[in-house]
Copies of this chain bind each other. A is one copy, B any other.
Amino acid sequence: MTELLWGPQHRSRGPKPAITLAEIAAAGIRIADTEGLDAVSMQRVADDLPVTKMALYRHVPGKTELVAVMSDLAIGPPPAHSKQPWRQALKTWALELYAVFAEHPWLLQAMIGRRLLGPNELAWMDRGIQALTDSGLDGGEQFDAILVLSSHVRNIAQQTISTGLTEEHLNQALAEILATEAARFPSLAAAMRTAGGNQNQGLEFGLERILDGLELLISGRKG
């Protein structure tokens, strides 16, 4: 299971493979980027190579693993930076993660629940935690911290990107319902009224709030 993500392939006898795992994953990514993850089927990937559907199963055990390989390849390694204060480092880390999701919206769909961990995903985690090594937080807290950040990035990405502008959709659907049912949700209606034009601020807002909270904890831990 982890071999195809971590271990190198060794070759011996037999016909030369017409396709490689990397080519399969690349084709899958290409399809997912342009037509969404739902369009990625074994048949569709095979047609793009082109090869028979069952030929794919010689290189990848099943679709689950294919998506895992696709995901780790699409995430890519985290950008390298010179040493920064933890807060700035974490913020750019979060924004870069957001950029990845913006580039491959289907990752939001692919990276949910229990999944296989790839080297690139681990590298991202490593870089996130790296920013907190001198913070005075213990390992568990460091994990939790980057988990809160990444989950926020993920959720904001899901509402701004995803398939079509979901934020528009949500706002419109909400306004549509509140037009007739405002009385049942008074606080919600009131908030909608004073919301104004500050849209797409969700990422920045949550990021600053979380970082503020972390800063409070860290400074209290150090002093």
Q: Would you list which residues of chain A between 200 and 215 have a CB under 8 Å from chain B?
A: 201-202, 205-206, 208-214
Measured CB to CB, the nearest residue on chain B to A173 is: B117
Quick check: is A174 within 8 A (CB to CB) of the other chain? yes
* Size class of the contact patch on chain A: 35 or more
**Are B187 and A129 interface neighbours, CB within 8 A?**
yes
Quick check: is A166 within 8 A (CB to CB) of the other chain? yes
CA distance A217 to B206 in the complex (A): 11
Quick check: is A76 within 8 A (CB to CB) of the other chain? no
**Are B113 and A194 interface neighbours, CB within 8 A?**
no
Do most interface residues of chain A lie in helix, strand or loop, or is the interface mixed? Answer: helix
Quick check: is A82 within 8 A (CB to CB) of the other chain? no
**Are B139 and A177 interface neighbours, CB within 8 A?**
no
Quick check: is A193 within 8 A (CB to CB) of the other chain? yes
**Are A113 and B163 interface neighbours, CB within 8 A?**
yes
CA distance A208 to B145 in the complex (A): 11
Which of B125, B187, B201 is close to A133, meaning CB atoms less than 8 Å apart?
Answer: B187
